[in-house]
Each structure stands twice: as structure tokens, then as C-alpha cells.
Amino acid sequence: MNVFGFKISPSSAIDMDKVDRARFEELCRVEPDAVRCMACGSCSATCPASAFSGMSIRKVLLMLQRGKEKDAFRMMRNCMLCGKCTMVCPRGINTRHLILSICRIYDDKEGKQ
Ligand code: SF4
Ligand code: SF4
């Protein structure tokens, strides 16, 4: 519906009380690096897949925290596991290992769709 030239969009607010964080907490237990990311964006800036697909580990972690697992897996399909992001991360996060742990922990039908 247009009102005076403005379009009313549905709210994108996330009710965190309704988000199931069990798997993200399991990920943090196995990979404490998952909460060490400071969202600086260095990994995305050097990622060869980012330019054409928008791949970003920073965004993947945010999506997982917010229960948007399908979106996170859709984005991670573009990762080539080249390891460039690991070399530039100022927090020393082994991002490649983190991605593999995410795939293992979220390895079920829901996450892969
Ligand atoms: S490992 Fe994946 S996320 Fe990291 S730089 Fe390579 S393609 Fe990008
Ligand atoms: S480079 Fe490291 S700290 Fe920066 S956004 Fe990527 S994973 Fe997070």
C-alpha cells in the first residue's frame, strides 16, 4: 500500500525470545572464536567470493545468532574454503575451521535448505 508516496514494509524486527539458540550455543562451546568476531569486515574485504556473491563470515555469524540459519547456509555455499580470510583476521580467528564447524554442527535438513 502506498501512502503519500511511501511504502509500508513489514517489520524486520526479530523477537530474540522466540529464536532457538541451542545450536549457536553448541557452536560457541566447540568454537569459542564464534563470539570473538568484532565485525571489522576484513575477511569480507579480502574474500574472493564476496565480490560476486556477498559472502561474509561476519554476516553468517550474525544470521546464526539471530536464528536465520537458512540464509546463513545460502551465503556459505559461496565459500571456497580458500583460507584468505583466516590470514587477515585481526582477532586471529581460524575462520576456515569455524566454517567447517558450522557445517558440522548445523548439519541437518533445516540448515542446508
Ligand atoms: S575461506 Fe571462504 S569466506 Fe574465507 S576468503 Fe575464502 S571464500 Fe572467502
Ligand atoms: S576479519 Fe575476523 S574479526 Fe573481522 S569480521 Fe572477519 S571474522 Fe570477524
Residue 107 within a domain: yes
Residue 9 within a domain: no
pLDDT score for 46:
95
Residue 10 within a domain: no
pLDDT score for 12:
82
pLDDT score for 9:
85
pLDDT score for 76:
94
Residues with CB under 6 A from ligand 2: 37-43, 57-58, 89-91, 93, 95
pLDDT score for 7:
85
pLDDT score for 34:
93
Regions of the chain short of the pLDDT cut 50: 109, 111-113
Query: For residue 53, what are the domain limits?
Result: 18-112
Residue 2 within a domain: no
Residue 5 within a domain: no
Whole-angstrom CA distances from 87 to 1, 72, 92, 100 are: 48, 22, 8, 16
pLDDT score for 8:
85
**Which residue's alpha carbon is nearest to atom 6 within ligand 1?**
82
Task: List Cβ neighbours of 92 (8 Å cut-off, separation of 6 or more).
Answer: none
Pairing of strands 2-3, 6-7: antiparallel
Residue 4 within a domain: no
Residues with CB under 6 A from ligand 1: 43, 47-49, 55, 57, 79-85, 95-96
What is this structure's pTM? 0.85
Residue 8 within a domain: no
Q: What are phi and psi of 40, to 5 degrees?
A: -75, -25
Residue 104 within a domain: yes
**Number of separate domains in the chain:** 1
